[in-house]
Every structure is written in structure tokens, then in C-alpha cells.
């Protein structure tokens, strides 16, 4: 079976012990699948993989940096944000399969004769985890969020206190 060349791959065969840095540049369209939207990630994605090799372990720290285009969740104004993320994966050299049940997703077993490690899926996950859950603009006077903050200061104090009082009664009822 023919295996496709990985998008982000580091060669570990013959790698000396110590710290090694690998730099990659890719685009969202280079990844297979629909998870990475080319509409959000319009620029280049800079990937730095820092591999620290010891006698029985290889630790790979993946750092990503890119810019992403969003729209404000409130006023729909276009925004551009810098996205940064970091993920660390531990590769343990082992020929035995006895450790498989003790391994979590950050730890992976590899054979001593492994030539290359494919980091494409780890980079994709790091990019997806680095995306903000909510995107709002700040400093935009046309945004409703920005203009509604000034209206909140003038809210009546007695409404707030009655709300807090009923919440306190409810809390005391269930103690």
C-alpha cells in the first residue's frame, strides 16, 4: 500500500540526543478534511516543532502561529486576530506492548526503528484548540456590546439588590 507523504513530518532516524528545532510553513488548504476552514485561516501557518531526544523518550513541542479572520459575534464587523497555540507530545521508545493501557493520548509508543513521525494531525488539533470560543470586537463604537456597556452603569441599584436578595433566599433554602 502506498503511503502519502505527510504534510508535517520530522525525521527521527539518526537524530542525536539533545534538542532539535524544525520549522514548517503551510496553509489551511494543505490539510485534508474540512475542519480547518480556509475562510478563517487565510494566511500562512508557521509551525515550529522542538524535539528533545533522550535515550528512551522523544518529547516534541509543537508551536503554531498564524492570523485568522473572524467576524464579531455581536456586530458582525470583520476582525483579524493572531492565533498562537502549543501542544506537547511524548513518544516513548518501546518494543513491548505491555504499557498500552497505561498510556494517555499525550504519550505514544514508537518502535526504536521508527524513521519519521507525522505531526500533521497534532498540528491540526493545536490550531483548532487555539481558536477562541467567542470573538468580539473591542474599541468599536458601532458595536452594540461597546455601546451597551455605558448603559449598564445607569441601571437601577434596587433591581440588582432585589435580584441578589432572591438568589440569597434560594441558596439558603437548599442548604
Please state, in angstroms and as integers, the Cα–Cα distance from residue 110 to each residue in 9, 58, 59, 103, 113, following that order: 15, 10, 12, 12, 8
H or E, element range at 19:
strand 18-26
Domains of the chain, by residue range, sit at 9-137, 140-175
Q: Please state, in angstroms and rounded to a whole number, the distance separating the CA atoms of residues 142 and 147.
A: 7
pLDDT tens digits, 99-141: 555 566 778 888 878 888 999 888 888 888 888 888 887 766 6
How high is the mean pLDDT of the chain? 78
pLDDT tens digits, 81-100: 899 999 999 988 876 655 55
Q: Which residue has the higher pLDDT, 144 or 26?
A: 26
Q: Is the pLDDT at 59 greater than 50, yes or no?
A: yes
Closest to 66 in 3D by CA, of 25, 35, 37: 25
Answer for the pair 47, 123: CB distance below 8 angstroms, yes or no: yes
Q: What pTM was computed for the model?
A: 0.70
Amino acid at each position: 500500500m502506498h503511503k502519502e507523504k505527510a504534510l508535517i513530518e520530522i525525521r527521527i532516524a539518526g537524530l542525536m540526543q539533545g534538542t532539535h528545532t524544525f520549522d514548517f510553513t503551510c496553509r489551511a488548504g494543505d490539510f485534508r478534511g474540512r475542519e480547518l476552514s480556509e475562510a478563517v485561516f487565510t494566511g500562512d501557518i508557521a509551525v515550529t516543532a522542538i524535539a528533545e531526544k533522550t535515550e528512551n523518550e522523544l518529547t516534541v513541542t509543537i508551536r503554531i502561529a498564524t492570523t485568522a479572520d473572524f467576524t464579531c459575534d455581536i456586530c458582525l464587523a470583520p476582525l483579524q486576530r493572531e492565533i498562537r497555540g502549543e501542544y506537547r507530545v511524548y513518544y516513548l521508545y518501546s518494543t513491548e506492548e505491555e504499557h498500552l493501557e497505561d498510556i494517555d493520548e499525550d504519550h505514544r509508543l514508537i518502535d526504536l526503528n521508527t524513521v519519521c513521525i507525522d505531526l500533521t494531525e497534532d498540528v491540526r488539533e493545536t490550531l483548532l484548540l487555539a481558536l477562541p470560543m467567542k470573538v468580539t470586537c473591542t474599541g468599536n463604537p458601532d458595536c452594540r456590546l461597546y455601546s451597551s456597556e455605558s448603559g449598564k452603569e445607569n441601571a437601577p441599584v434596587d433591581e440588582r439588590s432585589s435580584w441578589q436578595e432572591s438568589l440569597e433566599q434560594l441558596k439558603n433554602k437548599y442548604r
